[in-house]
Chain A
């Protein structure tokens, strides 16, 4: 195990896969010579050559299209969309093309594309550098959707995403690139000394479709993904309630057994995401949970989410779920 921040661990996953599989190619805006605006691909072009790691024109739709074509013709493309907010010019290529190729061709063709994209708020990015559009992809049959939350699972999940023969949209919570985020903008820890800052050096994978129980508890199940996992950890501490915390990690397909077993145990549930509330993935979780666990539930399930508004700039701390709102929701589940 080596101590890494999330940028280093993602870089390590890419490096390992470039070495392991000659069909892996990496491209996107600024990812080549410069190594990416967040430095995730730093040094990879120098080491593996410009044909394997290269800059693409500033055209997300074109990036997704060539990823589709390369994947169809035997390569394993890993494309970076610089910010998840900029993925929408590629939406048709992802939703109608990449996601549907295997099915529409009767299994004759498929394209194992991985699209990495930094998402989420907390960096003073305003409404076009902060969004978390996971539910716009979880609603698309044919895609797997992954959201890492720490250096350790970032490497393990990205490795699995690249190896997956289905297309994967891989969200990286940019707020957590250099350290966990506990909801307090004035407290900026690094990954140093954090248990999840310990990452295996060589090849390392975590299966998709596997959630992680971050903290065991019996009073309430808190489900989150991305940066919100750490905010929930803080909120549980603040609430003084022995809640169980599940980091979903993969949203499609999500880990049914881990979630259902936890809720059958606790009878209470809070779901937290930073994306807007309406039609967020939390809504899907709640619907599925009540279908499976209704007779085990002791209280209504509560969502703590971003608001149904554009993501703000200077007032982002009032937009993002914070430990206070989450702790209050956890307490509320105990009242019933």
Chain B
């Protein structure tokens, strides 16, 4: 007998995902929101209340036919867009190579950015080079923007002798100080509130330096999400806080992460200007981030952005999404494929072609393959070599204290 039968009362609600394996996913075909629906407020004077529509709507620039329009069109030079396309293609090809490595035992684990390539790449391109990137595990693409060598990235993923973090973290937990790319941590959401502290330090030092951070829709349930927004609301440091709503946190649908209708509108209650953007629209992502950066530069504090997208791939190499969602769900996503959409736009404006695309794909493919082979020269997961065992004991503290020295001697390596 259920509780309802006993008492006649309704029991609590456990929301479900809209579509499960066997269902035909249907998100309505196209977005109802169109480019040009929403104005671009002046970042220097914009108040939170001026963004109510932006938090409840969807900022777009790319039309369904591949043209760009509206006040949010960043009017970027075609060369900048081609650079963005090139990096998104690189990330996708890189991810595919890494997954193959994982499947053949060359990596212990991997996480792709499939379907979300535009997020970190467009947003990082909109920032200044010395701005802090404080990513979750789904923004490795920012490193391409800052010019990180793929060999170095693959060496980290393998955990071999050239891994700059010395085999201490799982793959994809990059750290790259030179690129102002802060070490990724597995406990989800911790970076969101930490980023506010990073930005406070920049402000304290009087530097024009912003910090950008991301977490997922599922992670927004963490206390760190509230800490981050609340501290940013109080202290107003130059920080850009993003929730990447890709619908899924492993198998947990975003309906379990919030009982609310969207994530962007939450920012309004913290009195932080809040935007909701099509996360598969490169131009829109670039534009809203540029807008947030201008607010940071003007000393106006935080901007909060919901990046509305879809996790097209599995959560990680350990996940099997066919167990909890329709296999073709991502194909029904109205936002489409971010790489294809930018490509279509570039072709539309006469700056790109299928031939060029094919040529670039082959070029990147061979570069990734060469990087992969080069990285394996420094050791692969199956056969090593790995960083020396002594690295277990170093950098726990600035100097090795006596008790760690003793334990290192006990290990005898």
Which A positions have Cβ atoms within 8 angstroms of B? 25, 51, 56-57, 59, 61-62, 65-75, 77, 89, 92-93, 96-97, 100-110, 141-142, 144, 164-166, 209, 252-253, 256
11 interchain pairs (CB within 8 A)?
A65-B231, A70-B197, A73-B202, A74-B201, A74-B205, A96-B185, A97-B185, A106-B165, A106-B166, A106-B168, A141-B396
Determine whether the beta carbon of A165 is less than 8 Å from that of B396: no
A51 to B237, CA, bound (A): 12
Contacts of B286 in A (CB 8 A): none
Cβ-closest chain B residue relative to A143: B397
What is the distance, in angstroms, from A153's C-beta to the closest C-beta of chain B? 20
B67 proximal to A (CB < 8 A):
no
Contacts of A256 in B (CB 8 A): 402-403
Determine whether the beta carbon of A253 is less than 8 Å from that of B201: no
B169 proximal to A (CB < 8 A):
yes
Q: Which of B180-232 contact A (CB under 8 A)?
A: 182-183, 185, 187, 190, 193-202, 204-205, 211, 223-224, 226-228, 230-231
Determine whether the beta carbon of A66 is less than 8 Å from that of B194: yes
Determine whether the beta carbon of B196 is less than 8 Å from that of A65: yes
Determine whether the beta carbon of A69 is less than 8 Å from that of B197: yes
Determine whether the beta carbon of A75 is less than 8 Å from that of B234: no
CB within 8 A of B193: which of A65, A72, A75, A77?
A65
CB within 8 A of B397: which of A51, A73, A92, A144?
A144
CB within 8 A of A97: which of B176, B190, B200, B202?
B190
B398 proximal to A (CB < 8 A):
yes
Determine whether the beta carbon of B198 is less than 8 Å from that of A72: yes
Determine whether the beta carbon of B396 is less than 8 Å from that of A65: no
B401 proximal to A (CB < 8 A):
yes
B177 proximal to A (CB < 8 A):
yes
With contacts defined as CB atoms under 8 Å apart, how many contacts are there between chain A and chain B in the complex? 141
Cβ-closest chain A residue relative to B193: A65
Determine whether the beta carbon of B195 is less than 8 Å from that of A209: no
Contacts of B398 in A (CB 8 A): 102, 110, 164-166
A73 to B134, CA, bound (A): 12
A21 to B254, CA, bound (A): 46
Determine whether the beta carbon of B223 is less than 8 Å from that of A104: no
Cβ-closest chain A residue relative to B192: A65
Determine whether the beta carbon of B190 is less than 8 Å from that of A62: no
A74 to B177, CA, bound (A): 13
Contacts of B176 in A (CB 8 A): 108
What is the distance, in angstroms, from A131's C-beta to the closest C-beta of chain B? 21
Chain B 54-73: CB-based contact to A (< 8 A → 1; otherwise 0): 00000000000000000000
Contacts of B199 in A (CB 8 A): 69
Determine whether the beta carbon of B183 is less than 8 Å from that of A104: yes
Determine whether the beta carbon of A92 is less than 8 Å from that of B201: no
Determine whether the beta carbon of B395 is less than 8 Å from that of A66: no
Chain B 329-349: CB-based contact to A (< 8 A → 1; otherwise 0): 000000000000000000000
Determine whether the beta carbon of B185 is less than 8 Å from that of A104: yes
Contacts of A71 in B (CB 8 A): 197
Q: Which of B343-372 contact A (CB under 8 A)?
A: none
Given known pairs A57-B231, A109-B182, the reply for A65 and B402 (CB within 8 Å) is: no
Determine whether the beta carbon of A108 is less than 8 Å from that of B165: yes
Determine whether the beta carbon of B187 is less than 8 Å from that of A104: no
Given known pairs A59-B227, A62-B227, the reply for A253 and B402 (CB within 8 Å) is: yes
Determine whether the beta carbon of A103 is less than 8 Å from that of B168: yes
B164 proximal to A (CB < 8 A):
yes
Determine whether the beta carbon of A108 is less than 8 Å from that of B198: no
A252 to B404, CA, bound (A): 11
Given known pairs A61-B193, A75-B201, A104-B168, the reply for A166 and B397 (CB within 8 Å) is: yes
What is the distance, in angstroms, from B187's C-beta to the closest C-beta of chain A? 5
A44 to B185, CA, bound (A): 35
What is the distance, in angstroms, from A53's C-beta to the closest C-beta of chain B? 12
Determine whether the beta carbon of A92 is less than 8 Å from that of B200: no
B173 proximal to A (CB < 8 A):
yes
Contacts of B211 in A (CB 8 A): 69
Determine whether the beta carbon of B230 is less than 8 Å from that of A57: yes
What is the distance, in angstroms, from A279's C-beta to the closest C-beta of chain B? 17
Determine whether the beta carbon of B193 is less than 8 Å from that of A66: yes
A282 to B196, CA, bound (A): 38
Given known pairs A69-B199, A73-B132, the reply for A25 and B193 (CB within 8 Å) is: no
What is the distance, in angstroms, from B305's C-beta to the closest C-beta of chain A? 19
Beyond contacts A59-B231, A65-B231, A253-B401: 7 other A-B pairs, Cβ-Cβ < 8 A, are: A59-B227, A62-B224, A65-B224, A103-B395, A107-B395, A108-B177, A109-B182
A77 to B196, CA, bound (A): 14
A209 to B166, CA, bound (A): 28
CB within 8 A of A104: which of B169, B230, B234, B394?
B169
CB within 8 A of A75: which of B182, B183, B187, B204?
B204
Determine whether the beta carbon of A96 is less than 8 Å from that of B190: yes
A36 to B368, CA, bound (A): 56
Determine whether the beta carbon of B187 is less than 8 Å from that of A102: no
Given known pairs A69-B201, A166-B397, the reply for A104 and B173 (CB within 8 Å) is: yes
